[in-house]
Structure 1
């Protein structure tokens, strides 16, 4: 069997690549009919994710304590999967005030692959090893391999390399029995079925991966104390839009007057979490900073020390 025919045979076994003959004349339908059909397909994705929530929660419970010790959350994927990892990583600094080095997105072929396909990059386990070697992995790091098929060499190679070096590993795919899930300590397989367009895993599979990455990063950040209730208290007011949002968050958390809020934000150099502690704990700015340091950034824990 040639390499080409072997690859075709492998694709024929994947749910995400399955051909749906009932959609063979979809191009003959009206625009509205196609849109309704596609929307109906998407509706089943959250249910597929819901079926994997226990596995996702278990992964978060392992990721969070590692990050609390200084570990990083590192996504690794190719194509759409890689782009989704980079997207999720890039959203963490403005949302949770994380350092850009804390959540990292690796895409096969490097940054240019975000906007243009880099031929052959996804087929290289060695490239994944090189990219992770450059990050100097530690046992407190977590590497999340992302691949709709669950067989992409770059994603599988990233997980294998990371696990061999003692890092925590998660394998996120959209096919059951995937090599990626088998290689990782936490295998998360969200099976959404064949795509509306055969093999176009930027559709349901991509949506499923985005939902899971949202869960992994957001719930981890909640566990790390990056929120107070459902308020993003770890944002820092660095522009006028964020200053307005910061004032609103402090108001929602404390019920304080505008004057009190402005004074607290001034005393804490615009740090929302610190300002909330100043108001609710009745302490000054330096004391708030010290309490948050001793409580590892958890606002609720810091507040108990003021009572």
Structure 2
């Protein structure tokens, strides 16, 4: 796609820390491998502090997401290139880990699914395509724009249309002066500074975005009751490793023998929450199933979002076995 003189003036005038030259790495092409690797890793270490500094906005984003999903809406990731691919990765991994799919989290990549493996020329610059996408969102949704520069036209178009539809909007960017930040409800701006290789946002910027998304989606899952303590109780056991993990999780949560945990899990039809309630309460699976249904996951139950403790307490208080 060719550009006009005005297009080029706009591009050249862009300002983002990730596009600046890093004074610490100007001689990397003259370094032996060991020193080069050490330099890259030293730069990566700074990302952790930069992400930690954005903890407040990330927490706000978690609260917005929990409200959206509890209201029947979805979290939509919208991005292009590396940023968009990280959104896809985060969304698809929620299904095997927490049994949460596109009914709650969905990722949209500029250029479509094919752009996951091969860059689609000009897709990130297509604000119209972004707006068309954004027109599909609803007032109960949360739309999270993912863009290192904070100005990607595709993302901007989607966010603008989403706002028009009444959706909540957010931005995750590694540009503290992101142009799109002023028009969203929550802006997570992580200052990762210049890259090791100038403009290569697949490096520190991508690492920062991955950390933010990991923290965000994990916190949302915990608040939605997908864990008991720090154990996954909604894992989908689709392979031998995950089947073994569900039994091991029950052992870790209850201190009971693996054979008993496996037997109760089988009696519960693979429903981990039910098996966990039965084991903790010392009740029958049938009674545990009724109690688990009486106390379903609820983010409003601040000290027990999964409902497991409440179900066990109800069974124990009633003397049900």
Q: Distance in 2 between matches of 1:42 and 1:213?
A: 17
Q: Distance in 1 between matches of 2:284 and 2:180?
A: 50
Q: Distance in 2 between matches of 1:296 and 1:126?
A: 42
Secondary structure at the aligned position of 1:246 is classed as: helix
Partner of 1:139: 139
Partner of 1:92: 94
Q: Distance in 1 between matches of 2:207 and 2:30?
A: 26
* Contact 1:86–1:106 (Cα < 8 Å) also in 2: yes
Which is further off, 219-228 or 276-285? 276-285
1:6 aligns with 2:15: no
Partner of 1:44: 46
Q: Distance in 1 between matches of 2:195 and 2:257?
A: 53
* Contact 1:169–1:184 (Cα < 8 Å) also in 2: yes
RMSD: 1.7
Q: Distance in 2 between matches of 1:71 and 1:294?
A: 23
TM-score between the two structures when normalised by the length of structure 2: 0.89
* Contact 1:234–1:273 (Cα < 8 Å) also in 2: yes
1:26 aligns with 2:28: yes
* Contact 2:16–2:177 (Cα < 8 Å) also in 1: no
CA deviation string 1:202-246 (max 9, x = no partner):
100000000000011000000001001110111133332211111
Partner of 1:199: 199
Partner of 1:239: 239
Partner of 2:218: 218
* Contact 1:236–1:272 (Cα < 8 Å) also in 2: no
Partner of 1:179: 179
Partner of 1:168: 168
Query: Which segments of structure 1 move beyond 6 Å, counting only runs of 4 or more?
Result: none
Change (3 A) 1:160 1:296: farther
* Contact 1:127–1:154 (Cα < 8 Å) also in 2: yes
* Contact 1:55–1:187 (Cα < 8 Å) also in 2: yes
Which is further off, 100-109 or 142-151? 100-109
Q: Distance in 2 between matches of 1:245 and 1:22?
A: 44
Secondary structure at the aligned position of 1:39 is classed as: helix
* Contact 1:171–1:183 (Cα < 8 Å) also in 2: no
Once the 2 structures are TM-superposed, how far is the Cα of residue 40 of structure 1 from its aligned partner? 0.3
Alignment gaps of 5+ in structure 2: 298-305, 317-321
Partner of 2:278: 278
Alignment gaps of 5+ in structure 1: none
Secondary structure at the aligned position of 2:180 is classed as: helix
CA deviation string 1:168-208 (max 9, x = no partner):
21101011121222121001100100001010001000000
Secondary structure at the aligned position of 1:300 is classed as: helix
Secondary structure at the aligned position of 1:76 is classed as: strand
Partner of 1:103: 105
* Contact 1:151–1:180 (Cα < 8 Å) also in 2: yes
Which is further off, 33-42 or 293-302? 293-302
